[in-house]
Amino acid sequence: MFKNLKSLFIVDNTEKNQKKEAEETLEDSIENAEYLLDELDDFDDFDEKLEAALSGEMIEKDAVVDNDIIEQLLLEVEKNDIEGFDYFEYKKALKALEKMPMNEVTKYRSAFATASTMGVTLEDLLKSAAFYVTVLDVEKEKATVDFEKKITESVGKKEEEVTQLKNKIQEKKALIKKLTEEITQHENKISDLKYKVKDSKKELTENQNNFKVSFDYLKAQFTIDIARMKEYLK
């Protein structure tokens, strides 16, 4: 069942290259879906979620269609498959008409003619399709919760770490600023002390020289007197 279900929604690359229909862009598909929705305006009980899905409102243009994700979603849809001829059987009938030389409207009507022979109404098809969209919505909610949890556990922690590092950077910048100011103060004090040392050294050197000269002068007086007393007082 699942393999058949996949074939209704996922086109193999080889098959895609061989089919002209597969060259349609996502925008064209959305336009076709919107056209069909206009044709169904008379059905007031048509599920709004189905309309949103078919109109492409949920498609992110910056993202890409991932076949692996589609397979996972289809597996969940398969678990809720409704017995009898429903939307999926109708989809199979449409698939069988892909290579037929007829326009899209004729294909949809031909497939519906087949469904009608089994007592299936358009309302039945719409309700079953809407039901499967509901199943997809449930899976989306589960995935959203899972993504948010992973974001909190992974991205959230990294963002918290970034914030902590930013705070540390600010603290270190403040410390660097403080240390820089202290260094500047020390450098200014060093310059001031250098002048004082120079002045003190000059003063001390002068005093030292004066002491030496004075000492030598005074000692010479003593020495001369000693020499004269020895000579004159014999």
- Domain assignment of residue 40, yes or no: yes
User: Is 87 within 8 Å of 129 (Cβ atoms)?
Assistant: yes
Q: What percent of the chain has pLDDT over 70?
A: 75
- Domain assignment of residue 210, yes or no: no
Mean pLDDT of 194-205: 91
- Domain assignment of residue 165, yes or no: no
The count of domains in the chain is 1
Residue 29 CA to residue 38 CA, distance in Å, equals: 14
Q: Residue 165 — pLDDT band, cuts 50, 70, 90?
A: very high
pLDDT for residue 155 is more than 90: no
Mean pLDDT of 181-188: 96
Length of the chain: 234
Whether this prediction's pTM lies above 0.85 is answered by: no
Residue 75 CA to residue 82 CA, distance in Å, equals: 14
Q: Which of 51-55, 95-99, 101-105, 217-221 has the lowest mean pLDDT?
A: 51-55
**Residue 114: burial class (beta carbons within 10 Å; 0-12, 13-18, 19+):** middle
pLDDT number for residue 205? 92
pLDDT for residue 161 is more than 90: no
- Domain assignment of residue 195, yes or no: no
Residue 4 CA to residue 1 CA, distance in Å, equals: 5
Q: What is the mean pLDDT of the chain?
A: 80
pLDDT for residue 118 is more than 60: yes
- Domain assignment of residue 37, yes or no: yes
213-222, pLDDT tens digit by residue? 999 999 999 9
Residue 141 CA to residue 192 CA, distance in Å, equals: 73
Residue 216 CA to residue 48 CA, distance in Å, equals: 119
- Domain assignment of residue 174, yes or no: no
CB atoms within 10 A of CB 112: 16
- Domain assignment of residue 75, yes or no: yes
28-38, pLDDT tens digit by residue? 554 554 544 45
User: Of 178 and 37, which is predicted with more confidence?
Assistant: 178
Residue type, 1: M
Helix boundaries (H) for the chain: 2-9, 13-18, 26-39, 48-54, 67-79, 87-96, 104-116, 122-150, 157-232
By residue range, what is the domain housing residue 61? Answer: 2-158
User: Of 154 and 55, which is predicted with more confidence?
Assistant: 154
pLDDT for residue 22 is more than 90: no
Structure tokens belonging to residue 195: 């002048």
Instruction: Supply angle C-alpha 7, 9, 12, rounded to 5.
Output: 55
Q: Looking up tokens 């997809």, which residue turns up?
A: 136
- Domain assignment of residue 191, yes or no: no
CA distances in angstroms from 151 to 39, 120, 158, 162, listed in the order given = 42, 45, 10, 15
Mean pLDDT of 34-59: 48
